[in-house]
Structure 1
Amino acid sequence: MEKVDWHKNDIDDGTVITDSYKTTQNVRRYFKSKFGEQFKFDRDFMQWMKSSVGLTMGDASQEWIRRQDSK
């Protein structure tokens, strides 16, 4: 699996979540570009991200939407 620098790499929907995943300002910018200022990390979603190695950031976006819809 290709190593991703979560601080510097361009992140898009096809970026694969790696075992080196970190919740960084770069990741936050990616989500805010998709969802606006309403995007917020919470502890459960951060854990989901850490356990989602092999999925894509597009999958993560869909998960965030699913969690918002269930609130």
Structure 2
Amino acid sequence: MSFNWHSEPLTRDTSVCKHYRNTQNVRRFMLEHCGAKFKFDRGFMAWIGNGVPKTLGEVVDEWLQRNRDGH
């Protein structure tokens, strides 16, 4: 059975698998870790789904890096 992105508890150690989905559960996690300015954009979503293994912690860190100047 695959990971349920809608209801499973998420942590920085959660692996982003090939079945990853941008759910409200993920959005809440990202808002909690990145702040109120968090949003998904096409480039960031493409990076998440690029096939390179990563964790949600790495996803958070990448978003913070991309948006460190408030862009």
CA RMSD, Structure 1 to Structure 2 (Å) = 1.7
Describe the shift of the 1:52–1:62 C-alpha distance in structure 2 as closer, same or farther (beyond 3 A).
farther
- CA gap of 1:16–1:66, structure 2 versus 1, over 3 A, is same
Distance 2:52 2:25 in 1: 18
Looking at secondary structure, tell me which structure has more helix per residue: 1
Who is 2:56 aligned against? 57
C-alpha displacement of 1:21: 0.5
Structure 1 residue runs of 5 or longer lacking an equivalent are: none
The 8 Å contact of residues 34 and 64 in structure 2, kept in 1 or not, is answered as no
Structure 2 residue 12 is the aligned partner of structure 1 residue 13 = yes
- Would you say how many aligned residue pairs link Structure 1 and Structure 2? 70
State the 1:24 CA deviation: 0.7
The alpha-carbon deviation at position 27 of structure 1 amounts to: 0.5
Q: CA deviation at 1:52?
A: 4.6
Runs of 4+ off more than 4 Å = none
The residue number in structure 2 matching 1:37 is 36
1:52 to 1:60, Cα distance in 2 relative to 1, 3 A: farther
2-side partners of 1:53 and 1:16: how far apart?
A: 11
